[in-house]
Amino acid sequence: MLEIHDLHCYYGRSHVVQGVSLAVGAGEAVGLVGRNGVGKTTTLRSIMGLVRGTRGKILFKNEDLSSVPTHARARRGLGFIPDEHAVFPGMTVEENIRAATLLLAGAGQRRSLDTVYELLPLLAERRHQPAGTLSGGEQKMLALARGLASRPELLLIDEPSEGLMPLNAELIANAIDRARSNGLSLLVVDSSFELLRTVCGRLYVMDQGTITGEHRLTELASSTDLVQTYLRANA
Amino acid sequence: METVVVAGLNGLVVGASLALVAAGLALLFGVFGILNLAQGGYFMLGGYVVWLAIDHGQNFWLGVAAAAAAVGIGGGVVLLAMIWPVRDRPTALVLLATLALSLVLEQLASDFFGGDTKAIGAPLVARLPIGHTEYPVYDLVIVGLTAAILAGGFMLLKYAKYGVWIRAVAQNRELASILGIPIIRVYVLAFMVSSSLAALAGSLLVPLTGAYPTVGVDVTVNAFIVVIAGGLGNLRGAAAVAFLLGVVEAVGSIWVRAQAVQLGVFVLVILLLIVRSQGRYVLVRA
């Protein structure tokens, strides 16, 4: 589904991502973990075409994305939920979701909306509320709902559980897991051990701009050092 | 009483033209973050297109439609082509680019059509008796049409695909592109609609104002006041303030000199800017 070969990203003179290579298979959920500032978010943003200074190869469904603009990547089946500024604050909850579903054919729009409301019922209750008035956790839910509503084939999610109360984090983890069990491929950046254990089968570890390790979930469960270094034990 | 009603109606007509021009300005500011000083130029072109249509034996309303389409498409593309290369440069440069376009349009109009005023008769001659005054029905049609155009525009922004996308791009360009929204297409559309609204206003008002090269200057100044007072990028606020400003100026002029009313409005706008710059109050919501 997604293959990245020797990806380098620059912000001005700063060489943030230094030769990342990774792969996500069809229907697979993969985690990307590491300390703050090692280039995880930049990696996701460059996959989506949001970082100008990049070098290397990004293949999605065997197509080289290097000359494909961001909106066209989305239309090819790539979805991205950023960590910050992930909702349109002046639009209602439903308008936020509709902004994404409008790319789908007529009947698919309503179906998609109903599906995400069923997955995250709180949003159905708040459908007419401006997104900017939602709490941080609710905004995360809305961003996830909108990401799922556009029916991507591969969804990149940046820190879905960051700053959430345990109950909201669990809700989000379950919603992501249900989407994965319906065949959605995922690349998730997060530091919650619970969320990653619920959703992902495999993890990449990133340090100083490069991939330094790859682990199966079973290895991670037993690898206390790794968990203590890179992850929060509780969501 | 009759004087107040007639002045109020006159104010609504002025407000209608302002509302259309200001809605275009607000749309462009919301989507692209620029203030277009050439909006008055497009208002002026709208009037000339109607004059040309009538001069060539065509119907007034066909002229209005042609003005909206031709100035909308042509003006939108020209403006975008001018702005695009300097979009990431300081705002003052973008503002100067639109000022340059405005001056070029005025000069071209002067060269092609001359500096005289082209008078155009209203397409409707019927009059409505209000007390002892006979009020032109066409003026009321302008108000009704403007209200319908603005209401239609708001509905499109609320429910139509490109309307929702325009609002999405205005709020967060990067997030919109992440969702697959074609940003460039949205920009082109916003520039065209903005130009078209100014041309519509100019073409509808031309029986009242006549067509001459600088006819858009006063409208531009007032439209900027409206956009600032209504909240930059806020279409509903701009439309509401436009009608309010038109009525206040017209009715106020019964008792106070027009220049004094205008001065009062300027003072009010300065106060609004001070209040807004402190970020404590939102006077008009989107």
Residues A6-38 pLDDT 10s: 999 988 888 888 988 999 999 899 999 888 888
Q: For chain B, how far is it from start to end, CA to CA, in angstroms?
A: 34
Partner B contacted by A104 (CB < 8 A): no
Contact yes or no for B168 and A103 at CB 8 A: no
**Sequence-ordered list of residues with C-beta below 8 angstroms from that of A36, at least 6 positions apart, any chain:** none
Is a pLDDT exceeding 90 seen at residue B46? yes
Q: Which residues in chain B touch residue A48, judged by CB atoms under 8 angstroms apart?
A: 178
What are the tens digits of pLDDT across the range A170-186? 888 888 988 888 889 99
Contact yes or no for B179 and A85 at CB 8 A: no
Q: Which residues in chain A touch residue B165, judged by CB atoms under 8 angstroms apart?
A: 99, 102
One-letter amino acid for residue B63 of the chain: G
How far apart are alpha carbons A5 and A22 in whole angstroms?
Answer: 7
CA B124 to chain A, closest CA, distance in angstroms equals 42
Is a pLDDT exceeding 70 seen at residue B276? no
Query: Residue A62: phi, psi to the nearest 5?
Result: 70, 10
Q: Which pLDDT belongs to residue B285? A: 38
Contact yes or no for A150 and B180 at CB 8 A: yes
Q: Which residues in chain A touch residue B157, judged by CB atoms under 8 angstroms apart?
A: none
Query: Which chain B residue shows the shortest CA-CA distance from A131?
Result: B171
Contact yes or no for B180 and A99 at CB 8 A: no
Q: Which pLDDT belongs to residue B232? A: 67
Mutate to test the interface with B, among A80, A88, A150, A156 (most CBs of B within 10 A): A88
Count the alpha carbons within 13 Å of B98 in the hemisphere toward its beta carbon.
28
Q: For chain A, how far is it from start to end, CA to CA, in angstroms?
A: 29
Q: Which pLDDT belongs to residue A164? A: 81
**Average pLDDT estimate for A135-163:** 90
> Coil, strand or helix: which one is A210?
strand
Query: Which chain B residue shows the shortest CA-CA distance from A98?
Result: B164
**Region label for A83, one of left (φ > 0), alpha (ψ between -120 and 50) or beta (otherwise):** alpha
Beta bridge partners of residue A15, listed in sequence order: A10
Query: Which chain A residue shows the shortest CA-CA distance from B234?
Result: A90
Partner B contacted by A80 (CB < 8 A): yes
Could you report the predicted ipTM of this complex, rounded to two decimals? 0.89
Contact yes or no for A75 and B164 at CB 8 A: no
Residue contacts between A and B (CB atoms, under 8 Å): 63
Mutate to test the interface with A, among B31, B157, B178, B236 (most CBs of A within 10 A): B178
Contact yes or no for B171 and A89 at CB 8 A: yes
CA A132 to chain B, closest CA, distance in angstroms equals 11
Q: Which pLDDT belongs to residue B280? A: 45
What are the tens digits of pLDDT across the range A73-99? 999 999 999 988 889 998 999 999 988
Joined tokens for residue B34:
């620029």
pLDDT band at A222 (very low <50, low <70, confident <90, very high): low
The helix or strand, by DSSP H or E, that contains position A155, with its residue range, turns out to be strand A154-158
Partner B contacted by A153 (CB < 8 A): no
How far apart are alpha carbons B237 and B200 in whole angstroms?
Answer: 20
How far apart are alpha carbons A197 and A188 in whole angstroms?
Answer: 11
What are the tens digits of pLDDT across the range B191-232? 999 999 999 999 999 999 999 999 998 788 888 888 877 766
Mutate to test the interface with B, among A98, A102, A142 (most CBs of B within 10 A): A102
Is a pLDDT exceeding 50 seen at residue B2? yes
How far apart are alpha carbons A73 and A65 in whole angstroms?
Answer: 7
Please give the C-alpha separations between residue A193 and each of A189, A230, B48, in angstroms, as whole numbers: 11, 9, 68
